[in-house]
Amino acid sequence: MKRLHFARRNVVLGSAIVASVLAFGCSTASAGLTITNASTADEKAITDSGGCGANGCIPLGTTGYVVDNTAPALVATSGVYKFTYLGAGDSVDDNAFAIAGGETFCSQAFAGCNGGVQTPIGTSFTMTLAAGAIPFVFTASPNAGPNGPRGCVLTDGSTGNAQPYEGCADYFVALGGSTVTPGLTSPGEYSAYIGLTDLPFPGDHDFQDLDILVQQIPGPGSLAILGFGLLCLLGLRKTRATW
């Protein structure tokens, strides 16, 4: 009888674990980041650290897409995302990254960008995004300087960058971990890189002139489901230990 009781309890706990794992999988199946409106002809691997250190602001070997035949868009599912400034390498131009409803990252201290304050590397902000293309904007060399004023403005691919921008500046997008093949639509990727090259590509090709790491933050519901599954697993182990 005691053996039957524990067997039933194990079945209940095991079912709870399976259910929680399935629920967690379902809750994250539609999550993540993808790249759309990209052409395989525009694939590029990061091969130049651009003064960002041995491995670059965007890690060397990361493969993604540039603006050329098309303008790639980084598409998010609805949720909370973290944007982290990785640096600008050896670029001396006044470059900025902004996102609607978020904050602005400035590669240098210049008027019109965060009150003239340069953004420290590692600075980040979080914001809730609706499903769709992430509405980012790069501004390259708006002021007088070594390569300005040019005032190149590049927006996310959903708004369609015009061909003339290629002669001014360019951006790069890649899914996190895309060091072998880019993957146009790879659900389950929860991080991505966005990088600027502030002179015309391919002459300037490092895409380390203002780099951003994008990360999706798991929602409390997904974490709660996973935690429940772990508690059930702990209970099952205790049951086996006492038996």
Nearest residue to 82 (alpha-carbon basis) of 47, 125, 133: 125
pLDDT at 198: 87
Nearest residue to 134 (alpha-carbon basis) of 61, 36, 42, 15: 36
How many residues are recorded in the chain? 243
pLDDT at 88: 96
Nearest residue to 222 (alpha-carbon basis) of 57, 66, 25, 87: 25
Asked if residues 230 and 73 have their Cβ atoms less than 8 Å apart, the reply is no
Report the CATH superfamily, name and number, of domain 33-218. Answer: Calcium-mediated lectin (2.60.120.400)
Question: Which pLDDT band, with edges at 50, 70 and 90, does 166 fall under?
Answer: low
pLDDT at 128: 96
pLDDT in tens, 199-229: 888 888 899 999 999 999 986 644 444 444 4
DSSP character at residue 159: G
What average pLDDT does range 224-235 have in this prediction?
45
Please tell me the distance from the alpha carbon of residue 57 to that of residue 212, in angstroms, as a whole number: 8
pLDDT at 228: 44
Is the pLDDT at 161 greater than 80? The verdict is no
pLDDT at 226: 41
Please tell me the distance from the alpha carbon of residue 80 to that of residue 215, in angstroms, as a whole number: 9
Question: Which pLDDT band, with edges at 50, 70 and 90, does 12 fall under?
Answer: very low
Percent of the chain with pLDDT over 70: 65
Please tell me the distance from the alpha carbon of residue 83 to that of residue 137, in angstroms, as a whole number: 13
DSSP character at residue 148: B
Is the pLDDT at 47 greater than 50? The verdict is yes
Q: How far is CA 142 from its chain centroid?
A: 25
Task: Identify which has the larger pLDDT, 57 or 149.
Answer: 57
Nearest residue to 195 (alpha-carbon basis) of 64, 39, 101: 64
Q: Which of 23-27, 137-141, 149-153, 165-169 has the highest mean pLDDT?
A: 137-141
pLDDT in tens, 176-189: 866 544 444 444 57
4: left (phi over 0), alpha (psi -120 to 50) or beta: alpha
Whole-model pTM?
0.76
